[in-house]
Amino acid sequence: MTRYTKTAVTAKIGINYIRNEVEKHGSLFIKIEQENDLGIDAIIELNENLTPINRQVAVQIKSGNSYYDEATRSCHFSIGTHKEYWSRHPLPVIGIVYIPLLDQAFWVDLKQEILTRNDSKIRFGASWNNQFKKQTVQKFIIPHILNRTPGLDIDEALLLTKSSDTSTHLLGLRTLFENFINSQLTWDSIIEHLLIRPITDRLVIYWLAHIPWNPDIYYSGQMLAKETKKHVIERLNKRPNQVIINLLNNIDLEQIGRGSLASYILSVLSCINGVPDKLLSIILRHSISSQIIHRATFSLAVLDKNYFIKNYRKIETLSPEVAQLLHEEILFNGSISISD
């Protein structure tokens, strides 16, 4: 006798759950029938305030508790034979895992994951910001598709910055910077990132370069208040040596032209009180790596050429090649140029 399998029931419940949340949001859920399914279960026609925004999203849905790890609170998605199909799909492709145990669903950008990783299985955290429901369609999915800042209040953005997931954490920082640039909490979070976490995104340093300002910055948002700049400079000077070392770690001496990460770092270093003395102290520290010594030598020569010349003999003994090149350029050109 023909039976309706439990797997089919679970799959249908999952699809109906996603359809319900999409329609509660006011968007359209267009199911693709199984005989036409090549790796996409549905198309979502996104609306905003019941108005079409002329954007669609392709969706692959997995339903079942087996796709969820309760211990790590994470989901997984096997790529299987769909890698090429998803990566070349003309629409954004998101994966959604529906978990009957929780009666909740969580989403991930499949195309983005495939293009940035080379894994056979995609694993992603299950948290409030990627839970699939009508609110997150508006707050996260639409902004993600349109490449704009999520529509969060400051407490929600701060919550994202507490995530151990790097992409979620950086999304929180981006939201704070773009929506709450004059909040001290924004800059406290950015400086905490600088001090505690490895800098995996140059945007963190780019944001900090707004404080002293850098001529290569393009910015069109709310202007920074004097009180905000004062607060950030005070925070940077509370732990100046750690700030300097962490910034020096990100200088690439092969790329030092205008608009480079090095130029932004030099701008931030200029905010540190007594930075020439502190850079010299780092150069003369015997326990420091040669890479940091070279970067500190370069930074000192750019920021204070006279102080560099005055202490050249000390510096030369620890960074001979770099120091000599910088010394010759200062004598010949009068300064160190970082222009293109």
Closest CA to 103 of 14, 221, 200: 14
Q: Which residue has the tokens 């490895």?
A: 198
Predicted pLDDT of residue 35? 54
Q: 10 Å Cβ neighbour count for 248?
A: 22
295-316 core/surface letters (b: 16 or more CB in 10 A; e: else): bbbbbbbbbbbebbeebbeebb
In tens digits, the chain (340 residues) has pLDDT values of 455 567 778 889 999 999 999 999 999 999 997 655 578 999 999 999 989 999 999 999 999 999 999 999 999 988 888 888 998 999 999 999 999 999 999 999 999 888 877 777 889 989 888 999 999 999 999 999 998 889 899 999 999 999 888 888 999 999 999 999 999 999 999 999 999 876 767 889 999 999 998 888 877 778 899 999 999 999 999 999 999 999 999 888 888 888 888 999 999 999 999 999 999 999 998 788 999 999 999 999 999 999 999 999 999 998 888 999 999 999 888 888 776 5
Closest CA to 160 of 204, 185, 128, 132: 128
Closest CA to 249 of 317, 188, 300, 198: 198
The residue type found at 268 is V
The values of phi and psi at residue 104, to 5°, are -140, 160
Cα 85 from Cα 4, distance rounded (Å): 30
Predicted pLDDT of residue 4? 52
Q: 10 Å Cβ neighbour count for 173?
A: 22
Cα 260 from Cα 44, distance rounded (Å): 40
Which region holds residue 233: left if phi is over 0, alpha if psi is between -120 and 50, else beta? alpha
The values of phi and psi at residue 42, to 5°, are -165, 165
Cα 324 from Cα 180, distance rounded (Å): 45
Domains belonging to the chain, first-starting first, are 1-134 (3.40.1350.10)
Closest CA to 132 of 245, 42, 196: 42
Q: What tokens appear for 336 in the block?
A: 């160190």
Predicted pLDDT of residue 83? 87
Cα 187 from Cα 193, distance rounded (Å): 10
Report CA-CA distances (Å) from 199 to 170, 209, 244, 284, 324.
10, 14, 13, 25, 30
Identify the DSSP state of 57.
E
**Residues in the chain, total:** 340
Cα 105 from Cα 141, distance rounded (Å): 14
Predicted pLDDT of residue 37? 57
Cα 197 from Cα 330, distance rounded (Å): 35
Predicted pLDDT of residue 260? 87
Which region holds residue 106: left if phi is over 0, alpha if psi is between -120 and 50, else beta? beta
